[in-house]
Structure 1
Amino acid sequence: MEAFVNQLNGILWSTPVIYILLGVGLLFSILTRFLQVRHIKDMVLLMFRGKSSAAGVSSFQALSIALSGRVGTGNIAGTATAIAMGGPGAVFWMWTIAFIGAGSAFVESTLAQIYKVKKDGVYRGGPAYYIEKGIGIKWFAVLFAISTLLAMSLLMPGIQSNSIALGMENAFGINKAVTGLVIVGLLALIIFGGVKRIATVAQYTVPFMAVGYILVALIIIGMNLGELPGVISLIFSSAFGADSMFGGIIGSAIAWGVKRGIYSNEAGQGTGPHAAAAAEVSHPAKQGLVQAFSVYIDTLFVCSATAFMILFTGMFNTVGADGTPIVENLPGVEAGPGYTQAAVESVLPGFGAGFVAVSLFFFAFTTIMAYYYMAETNVAYLVSGKNSKIAMFVLKLVLLGATFYGAVKTAGLAWALGDVGLGLMVWLNVIAILILAKPALIALRDYEAQKKQGLDPVFNSKKLGIKNAEYWEEEYKHQEEKVS
């Protein structure tokens, strides 16, 4: 089983695919004239504007749901794995994919807003919706919905619960099965409460967990401030093969940095658009900008916190392409949360292992919560009417079962299965947003034009010539009636 999964990953994540993803992010950055720099002020301000409604959530709640998915195991275990397989230089490539990936995140999230629908009283949207409405290829949309449903409900939850269980076992000696049962119980309480409960939990939990984690990282950096120039130099020299120790694995640095960067920040993956579509905003570009900033929060802040803790303390192993150790500072420790736990423990004895285990619990748990929301959105796309409620109930049971199973299975297989799920989604979504970028770029230009006029931008899809955006046609009529 594991051999077949690894073979499939070899296809989905082959070297050309890695460079394609970098190229797509760079293309969108150029086409949007590097909005990730030009509109950084708007990104921050728009996070806290907009209110929730009966049908949708606020911009901040949508951001929090998206960050629930972005900020997860990839930030702790994934960053450690990137360093283990690609050396310190992998961190630079994680930063790179985050910066240029913000362009991809804007495009896909703006498309989700443009083509969102109101179904059963709530906003729904995402790649399946914009593929059908924007491109007009139903089977392509269905294929994405099925792939996402499989990834979010069966393949991906196991990575998160597995990392939680490993962290709890390492820190407190808690049996993995016990941890799995606790995760499933808490998760059931939230997902059976619907989208609003998920948004409420996310908006309070995500900021708390991210800020707490970054503060501990800053303490460790502060206690080792003299090491900062050396660590920065090591990251950059390793990224370009200039370091004598890590120079021979530059290809691994790029591949693992990009792969784990995309896994963590999810730019272009097609996950962020699901939450973006649920936001109550007056213009699609607004939520596109907010979601672009979420990529920064995930990688430039949280992943960097993990990387600096590990590299400042030297608590990591790195292997060459042939599996031969290059650095072995933690003999016998598997790449993952153990590196981060050892890093914090080395500076704050008696605190590190427990802190990382608790952080990982919050990070990974909220990610599983976000996975359910995305899976539910695609079930809503595939199934309607009376069968919808039955399908939603079955989905909950499947996801809870996959979460428990993931907690007790081997970490290697968990990550391999997750990579398959991610690879399928990335392939399909990247093709879709390349075909469908034009409406998102039109929306950005419209947003900028209205801002220049001193207006609070509103969206008129009909005037802009964007077809099949029925929600916005009705919304613009409604706004005009209110004004008159």
Structure 2
Amino acid sequence: MNKIFDLINDFFAFLAPITDAVWDFPTNIEWYSGIPVLGQFSFPVILLIGVGIYFTIRTRFIQRQSFVPAIKIMLARQPSKQGISAIGSFMLGLAMRAGPGNIVGITGAISIGGPGALFWMWVAAFFGMASAFTESVLAQLFKEKKGDEFVGGLPFYGKRILGNKRFVGLFLSFVFIIYALFNIPAQTFNVFSAIGAIAQASTGEQYSHQSTLYYVIAVILVVVCAFIIFGGIRRVVAYSDVLVPIKAVIFVGMSIIIILINFPLIPYFFHEVVVGAFLPHAIFGGTIGTALAQGVKRGLMSNEAGQGTITMAAAVANNRHPCEQGLVQSFGVFFDTMVICTMTGFIVVMAHVWTGSVDGVMWESVRASKIMLYLSSVEALVPSSISTVVEIIMCACYGLFAFTTLLGMISFAEISANFISKKQSFILGIRTLGSLVFVPFGILTILAGLELGNLWYISDLMNIIMVYLNIPLLLLGLPFVLKALEHYRKTKAAPFDSKQYGFVTDCWNGKENSK
């Protein structure tokens, strides 16, 4: 068993320099890094923000329509029993977006890039809303029917955009399945971390990774995960419709209470975030590039705009117009970053643990562990009499974030796999891989004693690979999106007929896609 653990550790350690090199390119090249200002910005940062700005301009600031209309769309009656409702699709997407990255990712961004990283995360999210709109409309336009369900997403619109060549979709589907499955270990780790922290806070005892508690958690997690996943997408949506609102309301509500308790510190928060965005503290490297890179990097891990992953949730929805799901998922980026991630940012920055000025808390001792840094920040902001209760509640939210993301990863892999084959035996194979192979593999990483930082290397690497595959497709597919958007604005969401705009789709033929 120890040899297996050693192999797991070696595998993730091997990925670390590769991931850093990909994300830092070309700032890791001497001549480029010497360029004033520009030399601080890596290509992934330039690409994500640049494309978001471009889509914002071409869609004439679609962000303006991503609030009230999106909420109305989610509250409207579903056109038919076919597919998933707009709000069900939103919750499925938010199950992925509102994950542990909203806590440890944002905490990590601040711990490395300073409070200013949160400002750049807001900027990236604002422009990312246009990217999310574009990819979600493409997912709706080129979705396909499967019985009483819809399937679609990156592989499906990738195939259509690149000349209707099946091998393109097969490649994209395969890569996405690898992406989703290899992100599962990190989410498994987060579930264990949350439950372990709850147990420690409740009993005052620290449990080892190979204690009886961890083995019990392992068995329960595998059984529950398999039960939900083998029930298909509808069962996953049924659970996400319940779990996602619960975790979001409790986390945001508790965060607001903590912020109100520390109301006088709110001006301090905004000062540190805005000033730190342009004049970072020396402790964080003192460069704008560090804050900006961390904001974009962790923002992508959280809201996933432009990555192509949420397109699976967008495709399964039954909407009256393809642009409706674009608005819904664009709103999802706003809610995830501007609301949930900002709540984490408020707590970490307001606690100013990172300044080293909090009694009894040593910055360097907690900086390596992002969840420890977050919990130390929470503890510093609440009265000692309720700190244990608050810590348990926030850890429970953290665990729910991880669990729903885990379900989302496997479900999205299943939706993507439908491009390869819609046969039930093949889909069951994907469900088995996710819940009975990769979840146990994630458990092995826990028993191996891996730190979350090691697991993040594969997540970061797969995230940027998905971006590099998806962004060119979005640029090529933008004309389809603009045609649908023109129709939506002109007719106020009348039935869309793609043939009138020079292209053919399976579901949008002038009648409501539910018929």
Deviations along 1:180-232, one digit per CA (max 9) or x if unpaired, are 33322221121111111111111121112111111111111111111111110
Instruction: Pick from 188, 198, 202 the counterpart of residue 240 of structure 2.
Output: 202
How far apart in 2 are the matches of 1:330 and 1:317?
Answer: 10
The answer for the alignment partner of 2:341 in structure 1 is: 303
Of 176-185 and 211-220, deviating more is: 176-185
Identity of aligned residues (%): 31
Matched, 1:112 2:139: yes
The answer for the alignment partner of 1:461 in structure 2 is: 498
Deviations along 1:145-177, one digit per CA (max 9) or x if unpaired, are 111101111x11111121222233233135444
Matched, 1:411 2:448: no
Matched, 1:429 2:463: no
The answer for the alignment partner of 2:166 in structure 1 is: 138
- Unaligned residue ranges in structure 2 (runs of 5+): 1-10, 25-41, 201-206, 208-212
Give, as a single letter, the amino acid of the residue that structure 2 aligns with 1:151: Y
Deviations along 1:226-261, one digit per CA (max 9) or x if unpaired, are 111111011011111265665713221111110000
The answer for the alignment partner of 1:215 in structure 2 is: 253
Give, as a single letter, the amino acid of the residue that structure 1 aligns with 2:297: K
Instruction: Pick from 397, 401, 411 the counterpart of residue 440 of structure 2.
Output: 401
Of 279-288 and 183-192, deviating more is: 183-192
How far apart in 2 are the matches of 1:264 and 1:165?
Answer: 20
Of 384-393 and 300-309, deviating more is: 384-393
Matched, 1:23 2:55: no
- Counterparts of residues 62-461 of structure 1 (less than 5 Å): 62-136=89-163, 137-153=165-181, 155-173=182-200, 175-241=213-279, 248-316=286-354, 329=363, 331-332=365-366, 334-346=368-380, 347=382, 348-385=386-423, 387-396=425-434, 397-408=436-447, 409-451=450-492, 456-461=493-498
How far apart in 2 are the matches of 1:68 and 1:273?
Answer: 13
The answer for the alignment partner of 2:3 in structure 1 is: none
How far apart in 1 are the matches of 2:292 and 2:424?
Answer: 48
Deviations along 1:38-63, one digit per CA (max 9) or x if unpaired, are 44321221121242744301000000
The Cα shift of 1:20 comes to: 0.8
Give, as a single letter, the amino acid of the residue that structure 2 aligns with 1:466: F
3-state secondary structure, aligned to 2:145: strand
Describe the shift of the 1:425–1:3 C-alpha distance in structure 2 as closer, same or farther (beyond 3 A): same
Describe the shift of the 1:475–1:450 C-alpha distance in structure 2 as closer, same or farther (beyond 3 A): closer
Give, as a single letter, the amino acid of the residue that structure 2 aligns with 1:268: G
The Cα shift of 1:328 comes to: 5.1
Of 391-400 and 267-276, deviating more is: 391-400
Give, as a single letter, the amino acid of the residue that structure 1 aligns with 2:170: V
Of 349-358 and 284-293, deviating more is: 349-358
Deviations along 1:271-296, one digit per CA (max 9) or x if unpaired, are 11101111111100001100000001
How far apart in 1 are the matches of 2:60 and 2:103?
Answer: 32
The answer for the alignment partner of 1:322 in structure 2 is: none
The answer for the alignment partner of 2:16 in structure 1 is: 6
Of 238-247 and 24-33, deviating more is: 238-247
How far apart in 1 are the matches of 2:348 and 2:71?
Answer: 29
How far apart in 1 are the matches of 2:452 and 2:218?
Answer: 14
Deviations along 1:75-124, one digit per CA (max 9) or x if unpaired, are 01101110111111111111111111000000000000000001244200
How far apart in 1 are the matches of 2:226 and 2:424?
Answer: 22
Q: Is the 8 A contact 1:12 1:424 kept in 2?
A: no
Describe the shift of the 1:252–1:182 C-alpha distance in structure 2 as closer, same or farther (beyond 3 A): farther
Scaled by the length of structure 1, what TM-score is found?
Answer: 0.90
The Cα shift of 1:412 comes to: 2.1
The Cα shift of 1:331 comes to: 2.1
Give, as a single letter, the amino acid of the residue that structure 2 aligns with 1:269: Q
Q: Is the 8 A contact 1:164 1:364 kept in 2?
A: yes
Describe the shift of the 1:384–1:310 C-alpha distance in structure 2 as closer, same or farther (beyond 3 A): same
How far apart in 2 are the matches of 1:366 and 1:158?
Answer: 14
Q: Is the 8 A contact 1:147 1:421 kept in 2?
A: no
Describe the shift of the 1:39–1:169 C-alpha distance in structure 2 as closer, same or farther (beyond 3 A): closer
Q: Is the 8 A contact 1:69 1:370 kept in 2?
A: yes
Describe the shift of the 1:52–1:263 C-alpha distance in structure 2 as closer, same or farther (beyond 3 A): farther
- Unaligned residue ranges in structure 1 (runs of 5+): 319-326, 480-484
3-state secondary structure, aligned to 2:286: helix
The Cα shift of 1:12 comes to: 3.1
3-state secondary structure, aligned to 1:123: strand
How far apart in 2 are the matches of 1:21 and 1:231?
Answer: 26
Deviations along 1:291-340, one digit per CA (max 9) or x if unpaired, are 0000011110000001101111123479xxxxxxxx95362453322222
Matched, 1:35 2:62: yes
Deviations along 1:380-432, one digit per CA (max 9) or x if unpaired, are 11124364245335334234334433444331221111112212211111121
Q: Is the 8 A contact 1:117 1:123 kept in 2?
A: yes
Of 219-228 and 62-71, deviating more is: 219-228
Q: CA RMSD in A?
A: 2.2
